[in-house]
Amino acid sequence: MAFIDLPLEKLKKYKGSSPRPKDFDEFWKKALDEEKNTKANIKIKKAAFALKGFECADVFYDGVRGGRIHAKLIKPAGKTDLPIALHFHGYRGRAGDWNEYLSYASAGFCVLSMDCRGQGGQSTDAGGVSGNTNRGQIIRGLDDGPESLLFRQIFLDTVTLADIAKGLDYTDETKLFAYGGSQGGALTLACAALNPEVGLLAPVYPFLSDYRRVWELGLDCTAYEDIRDYFRLYDPKHEREDEIFNTLGYIDVTNLASMIEGETILAVSLNDATTPPSTVFAAYNNISAKKEIHIYPDFAHEHLPGFSDVVIQKAQNKFVEK
């Protein structure tokens, strides 16, 4: 039997229960100003991986607050005016193997896949830790105020990645696509919300959405255990509960979703106890741009058959010259 925290007819109308801070728009405007004023110090070098017909490179750049970010880049060799595909990986992970991006590169895209700072890839976080922090990223910086939240910085890293991609000599800055699953789905939404030039986005069961709802469901899912652990360690009687959820509201993709202007194609699993369907619908239902949702009733937090095929065909039809 499918896990459904709300009946499907209610999911289709549900817009979230987490707070949206009063200064949310001002907060992100200020954050974007900081991103624009941060010198990227871009370095691009030929990758050790090589494959006939493709060019592969490692991209390094500075993000806000001292992060040094890495991304993989793969493109068809010798081609110009390429549409851009930005990929974002899952929580605690890293950019995938080069071959995972060959489908989009073969379809004519310049693909960039970002390593999130402080997770499993080559990006580094200047907040006292270099490399993999493994746990606690949702609440990291919470006690220092919303400007210190780690996911604020990671969301801004996606914007800088888009800026870099648009500035490459061989890309078409008007053709920008973003995709990813779980945390990658959340970063896809955040990137599109903070960069309205993203014309198509394909998030799969996005993470980092409707934090209070996740808490109220009482699920013992590892993806959101950061919040549970924070309360147990720092607010065991929930005396600061409203304050904490309000602060987390700044990095809640449900609140960012209304800023998205690009066409959205989203997938949700109704048996997903990792990113519960109500939290996914909360983000989706706040998107006012053109959109469609693909519902998988019997699937959990796993591969969703056929969806990636639908997405790449839509991306190719939208952005690649026929």
Task: Kindly list the catalytic residues.
Answer: 182, 272, 301
Instruction: Output the six-digit token pair for 305.
Output: 């058959």
Element (DSSP H or E) covering residue 202 = strand 200-204
Distances (CA, A) of 193 to 252, 263, 287, 314, 320: 12, 12, 10, 20, 23
The H-or-E segment that residue 111 falls in is strand 110-114
Q: What is the side-by-side order of every strand in the sheet holding 110-114? A: 43-46, 54-62, 68-76, 110-114, 82-88, 171-181, 200-204, 263-269, 291-296
CA nearest neighbour of 75 among 115, 113, 42, 114:
113
Query: Residue 200 has which token pair?
Result: 């198509």
